[in-house]
């Protein structure tokens, strides 16, 4: 069962809301502008939904329009306010909170340019708790045309001090917009009693479908329609209404009013505290990125020293727990969260942030299961030497690759000889390497650099400072870390020798005459036919190159539906799970009857390439999303494997009866 903890991105549709939407689609499908009874029925449904929203938000004599979502509400509010500012020489600024959703500053820039107002757009600073600088607001208010301050933040859940902001706005020249998206259903809002001019809301953040939202406009606040046409919504927002969306939103608002489906703030706080306790237990050293006393009881934003946001997201996903890094919009990019940066948090916290958010319809059973899964994630880290504390010992053998911004560091270990060595470590990787070396507990024979890069030297120095003496290399070394006077470094059955190059050195690892691996910037001419060159940088995810390879070879993509046919036609195939051990620990092993399974994490792929190339057995790679397995299959195909397959779309798209994750 999936545990969905990403409610600030979007929520599922409440069953009664889905039911109401279906009814509006199939039975009560009228156009509320029609005067016959089918139309009248639709109008009545719309009026009822609006009346509920008016009661819940205490809109008084203000207007409440149905719009497509918060982004449209924000555009309409900004257009309305900015249109009213034309010709006013007393205003100079448009202000927005530095942690506002991107829709707000982008709308300000867009309409300021289109209306040719030439106003200066300024971000209101926030403190480390994420709260607005009230002195800044007070100082700028007399020359501000529009100020935008969200009610609660989508990434951190930080609740704004709206009363404090209102007090600071006593001399405001223009208008005030409050983005209420994350507050709806979680915080009481009494709009007419405040001086808020505009407040947009979005249905899909509170169990209604995507494509429906609300915009509150205070009585007397200026209004310019974004859409002109048939005159719907009193000509303020033309276009035939999204009736299924309105019906569903109406059902959600009814649930809010009857108090049955949603938990109270006190109950949600208990849930949040339970989740926070499970997180602290699973990830010792975890820090919350905003003080819990100031955040919605439905949001937790945190970072764990030494663990990237990406790793934590993969870990949660393996446990079938959906969370997000920073905010959903930035999930595709590895950029640090601008919200956390605006709060002045250290880079590692802003770059390593994970957001966990629940909806107010969460139940005690759901929270208990979420806590159990979070604890299992912690256990997976301990078993796989990634926990900040209490890691179990591990057996290190073969080559493990550690990546940092495209640069590759290699840890070579020999379990029988209990020796290991490091190639090209970076200073930022040291804590992770110290952890890995501590878990396997083999002394390092050397810490080598292939290029003489200063970063490698720095990493060597920090490792010398941080590692227990028992694990450190003994004796004097040269500038590249090579033991002075040594012709070779013995690593169990294999030995490492070096060849000087113009930049530094190439390190050759092997047992016989022909090296199995070459590390460093290796000229192709230097490579024996079967030697695999392990790159120093691998942005293109090549993993290894060799003298003879087929540059244009492509892996064969399979989808879930082709699996049965694949098994029938490739009886000797090997199914290769390239996910990392901390992911594999959390999920059931996929079952593909009759097919042998091998776990070969992408970080250890180098070890398997040569045996697989020699064997030429059909290989079907899979991972969570299909990305890593495609890279692995591509590498094998390029290096000369004739039957490298990848499961496109990964486990996420597998039919449930074939693979249970
Ligand atoms: N404002 C906030 C605070 C949000 O969280 C979001 C959605 O992420 C929006 C605005 C935009 O809402 P929508 O995508 O429904 O237009």
The pLDDT tens digits of the residues spanning 36-75 come to: 999 999 999 999 999 999 999 999 999 999 999 999 999 9
Above 50 in pLDDT, residue 535? yes
Distance from the alpha carbon of residue 60 to the mean position of ligand 1, in angstroms:
25
| Ligand 1 pocket mutation, candidates 69, 184, 202, criterion most atoms within 8 A of CB | 202
Give the residues across from 448 on adjacent strands: 423
CB 439 within 8 A of CB 385: yes
Atom of ligand 1 nearest to the CA of 153: 3
Q: pLDDT-based confidence at 220, cuts 50/70/90?
A: very high
Give the span between the Cα atoms of 626 and 638, in whole angstroms. Answer: 18
398-534, CATH topology level: Metallo-beta-lactamase; Chain A (3.60.15)
Q: How are beta strands 213-217 and 63-67 bridged, if at all?
A: antiparallel
Does the domain at 263-383 match CATH 3.10.105.10? Answer given as no
Give the span between the Cα atoms of 83 and 85, in whole angstroms. Answer: 5
Rounded average pLDDT over 321-343: 77
Mind listing the pLDDT tens digit for each residue in 483-533?
999 999 999 999 999 999 988 999 999 988 889 999 999 877 778 988 999
Q: How are beta strands 644-647 and 619-622 bridged, if at all?
A: parallel
Above 70 in pLDDT, residue 624? yes
CB 112 within 8 A of CB 118: yes
**Residue 590, pLDDT score:** 67
Number of residues written out for the chain: 661
Atom of ligand 1 nearest to the CA of 74: 10
Q: Is 92 exposed, middle or buried (0-12, 13-18, 19+ CB in 10 A)?
A: middle
Cβ neighbours of 398 (radius 10 Å): 13
Query: Of all residues in the chain, what percent carry a pLDDT higher than 90?
Result: 87
State which CATH number among 3.40.250.10, 3.40.50.300, 3.30.70.360, 3.10.129.10 fits the domain covering 556-659. 3.40.250.10
Distance from the alpha carbon of residue 9 to the mean position of ligand 1, in angstroms:
8
The position carrying tokens 């200026």 is: 222
Q: pLDDT-based confidence at 654, cuts 50/70/90?
A: low
State which CATH number among 3.40.640.10, 3.30.450.20, 2.30.29.30, 3.90.226.10 fits the domain covering 33-258. 3.40.640.10
Above 50 in pLDDT, residue 461? yes
Indicate left, alpha or beta for 60 from its phi (over 0: left) and psi (-120 to 50: alpha).
Answer: left
The separation between the first and the last C-alpha atoms of the chain, rounded to the nearest angstrom, is 9
Angle at 579 between CA 302 and CA 456, to 5 degrees: 70
Mind listing the pLDDT tens digit for each residue in 13-29?
999 999 999 999 999 99
Above 70 in pLDDT, residue 596? yes
Distance from the alpha carbon of residue 101 to the mean position of ligand 1, in angstroms:
7
Residues with CB under 6 Å of ligand 1 are 69-71, 101, 103, 150, 154, 179, 181-182, 202, 204, 213
Give the span between the Cα atoms of 535 and 401, in whole angstroms. Answer: 11
- 317: which 2 tokens? 């996903």
User: 595: which residues sit within 8 A by CB, 6+ positions away?
Assistant: 567, 573, 574, 575, 620
What does the DSSP assignment read for 578-611? -S-HHHHTTSPPP--TT-EEEE--GGGTHHHHHH
Cβ neighbours of 423 (radius 10 Å): 25
Query: Of all residues in the chain, what percent carry a pLDDT higher than 70?
Result: 97
Distance from the alpha carbon of residue 424 to the mean position of ligand 1, in angstroms:
44
Specify the long-range contacts of residues 88-93, CB closer than 8 Å, at least 24 apart.
88/145, 88/173, 88/174, 90/143, 90/173, 91/119, 91/143, 91/144, 91/145, 91/173, 91/174, 92/119, 92/120, 92/143, 92/144, 92/145, 93/119, 93/120, 93/121, 93/122, 93/140, 93/143, 93/144, 93/145
- 457: which 2 tokens? 């030297």
Work out the mean pLDDT of the chain and round it to a whole number. 94
Catalytic residue annotation = 329
Any idea where the domains of the chain sit in the sequence? 33-258, 263-383, 398-534, 556-659
Task: Collapse the DSSP code of 637 into the 3-class scheme (helix H, G, I; strand E, B; otherwise coil) and give the result.
Answer: helix
Rounded average pLDDT over 363-383: 97
**Residue 522, pLDDT score:** 81
Indicate left, alpha or beta for 306 from its phi (over 0: left) and psi (-120 to 50: alpha).
Answer: left
Mind listing the pLDDT tens digit for each residue in 261-308?
899 999 999 999 999 999 999 999 999 999 999 999 999 999 999 899
């Amino acid at each position: 069962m999936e545990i969905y903890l990403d409610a600030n991105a979007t929520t599922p549709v409440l069953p009664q809301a889905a039911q109401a939407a279906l009814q509006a689609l199939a039975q009560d499908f009228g156009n509320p502008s029609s005067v016959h009874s089918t139309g009248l029925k639709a109008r009545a449904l719309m009026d009822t939904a609006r009346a509920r929203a008016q009661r819940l938000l205490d809109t008084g004599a203000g207007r409440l329009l149905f719009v497509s979502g918060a982004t449209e509400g924000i555009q309409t509010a900004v257009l309305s306010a900015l249109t009213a500012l034309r010709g006013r020489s007393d205003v100079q600024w448009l202000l927005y909170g530095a942690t506002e959703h991107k829709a707000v500053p982008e709308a300000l820039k867009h309409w300021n340019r289109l209306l040719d107002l030439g106003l200066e757009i300024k971000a209101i600073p926030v403190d480390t708790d994420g709260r607005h600088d009230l002195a800044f607001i007070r100082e700028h208010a007399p020359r501000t045309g529009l100020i935008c301050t969200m009610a609660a933040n989508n990434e951190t859940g930080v609740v704004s001090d709206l009363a404090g902001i209102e007090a600071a706005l006593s001399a405001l020249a223009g208008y005030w917009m409050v983005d209420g998206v994350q507050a709806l259903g979680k915080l009481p809002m009494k709009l007419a009693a405040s001086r808020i001019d505009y407040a947009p809301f979005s249905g899909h953040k509170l169990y209604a479908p995507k494509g429906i939202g609300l915009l509150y406009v205070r009585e007397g606040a200026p209004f310019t329609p974004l859409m002109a046409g048939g005159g719907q919504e009193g000509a303020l927002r033309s276009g035939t209404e999204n009736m299924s969306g309105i019906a569903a939103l109406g059902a959600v608002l009814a649930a809010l009013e009857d108090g049955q489906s949603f938990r109270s703030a006190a109950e949600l706080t208990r849930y949040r505290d339970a989740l926070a306790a499970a997180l602290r237990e699973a990830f010792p050293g975890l820090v919350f990125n905003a003080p819990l006393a100031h955040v919605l009881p439905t949001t937790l934003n945190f970072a764990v020293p030494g663990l990237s946001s990406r790793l934590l997201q993969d870990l949660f996903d393996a446990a079938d727990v959906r969370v997000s890094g920073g905010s959903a919009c930035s999930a595709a990019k590895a950029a640090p969260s601008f919200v956390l940066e605006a709060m002045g948090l250290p880079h590692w916290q802003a770059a390593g942030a994970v957001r966990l958010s629940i909806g107010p319809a969460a139940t005690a059973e759901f929270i208990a299961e979420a806590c159990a899964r979070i604890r299992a994630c912690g256990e997976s880290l301990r078993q796989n030497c990634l926990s900040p504390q209490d890691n179990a010992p591990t057996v290190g053998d073969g080559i493990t690759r550690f990546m940092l911004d495209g640069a590759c560091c290699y840890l070579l270990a020999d379990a029988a000889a209990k020796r290991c060595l490091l190639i090209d470590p970076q200073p930022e990787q040291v804590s992770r390497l110290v952890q890995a070396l501590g878990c396997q507990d083999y002394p390092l024979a050397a810490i080598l650099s292939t290029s003489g890069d200063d970063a490698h030297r720095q990493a060597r120095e920090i490792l010398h400072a941080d590692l227990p003496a028992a694990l450190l290399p003994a004796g004097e070394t040269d500038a590249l870390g090579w033991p002075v006077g040594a012709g070779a470094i013995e690593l169990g059955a294999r030995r490492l020798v070096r060849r000087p190059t113009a930049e530094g050195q190439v390190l050759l690892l092997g047992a016989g005459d022909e090296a199995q691996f070459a590390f460093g910037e290796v000229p192709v001419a230097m490579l024996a036919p079967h030697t695999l060159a392990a790159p120093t940088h691998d942005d293109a995810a090549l993993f290894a190159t060799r003298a003879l390879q087929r540059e244009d070879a492509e892996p064969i993509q399979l989808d879930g539906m082709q699996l049965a046919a694949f098994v029938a036609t490739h009886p000797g195939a090997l199914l290769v799970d390239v996910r990392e051990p901390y992911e594999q620990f959390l999920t059931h092993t996929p079952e593909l009857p009759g097919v042998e399974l091998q776990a070969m994490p992408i970080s250890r792929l180098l070890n398997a390439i040569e045996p697989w190339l020699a064997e030429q057995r059909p290989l079907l790679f899979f991972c969570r999303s299909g990305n890593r397995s495609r890279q692995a299959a591509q590498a094998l195909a390029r290096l000369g494997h004739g039957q490298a397959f990848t499961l496109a779309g990964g486990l996420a798209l597998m039919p449930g009866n074939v693979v249970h994750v």
